[in-house]
Structure 1
Amino acid sequence: MQQQILERIEDCYQQAEAYFKRAFPRPTTQFTLRGRSAGTAHLQQNRLRFNPVLLRENSEAFLAEVVPHEISHLLCFQIFGKTKPHGREWQSIMLKLFKISPNTTHNFDTQSVKGKDVEYRCACGPIRLGIRRHNKVLRGETRYLCKRCHTHLTLA
Structure 2
Amino acid sequence: MRRQESPPPMPELLRQRVEACYVQAEAFFKRTFPRPEVSFKLRGQKAGVAHLHDNLLRFNPQLYQANQDDFLRQTVPHEVAHLIAHQLFGASIQAHGQEWQLIMRGVYELPPHRCHSYAVERRVAMRYIYRCPCPDSDFAFSAQRHTLVRKGRRYVCKRCRQVLTYSGETRSE
Q: Which range, TM-score by smaller chain?
A: 0.7 to 0.9
Shift of 1:138: 4.2
Shift of 1:4: 0.4
Structure 2 match to 1:90: 100
More helix by share: 1
Structure 2 match to 1:116: 125
2:155 aligned to which of 140, 143, 156: 143
Distance in 2 between residues matched to 1:61 and 1:145, nearest whole Å: 46
Instruction: Using structure 2 for the length normalisation, give the TM-score.
Output: 0.73
Q: Report percent identity of matched pairs.
A: 38
Instruction: Using structure 1 for the length normalisation, give the TM-score.
Output: 0.80
1:57 aligned to which of 55, 61, 66: 66
Q: Is the 8 A contact 1:120 1:129 kept in 2?
A: yes
Shift of 1:143: 3.4
Shift of 1:132: 3.9
2:83 aligned to which of 74, 80, 84: 74
Give the direction of change, closer, same or farther, for the CA distance of 1:135–1:71 in structure 2 (3 Å limit). farther
Shift of 1:124: 4.9
Corresponding residue pairs, total: 154
Q: Is the 8 A contact 1:144 1:153 kept in 2?
A: no
Q: Is the 8 A contact 1:119 1:126 kept in 2?
A: no
Aligned-partner SS, 2:102:
helix
Give the direction of change, closer, same or farther, for the CA distance of 1:135–1:88 in structure 2 (3 Å limit). farther
Distance in 2 between residues matched to 1:39 and 1:139, nearest whole Å: 34
Distance in 2 between residues matched to 1:134 and 1:100, nearest whole Å: 45
Shift of 1:7: 0.5
Structure 2 match to 1:34: 43
Aligned-partner SS, 2:49:
strand
**Match of 1:32, as an amino acid?**
K
Give the direction of change, closer, same or farther, for the CA distance of 1:87–1:153 in structure 2 (3 Å limit). farther
Distance in 2 between residues matched to 1:19 and 1:144, nearest whole Å: 56
Structure 2 match to 1:102: 112
Structure 2 match to 1:11: 20
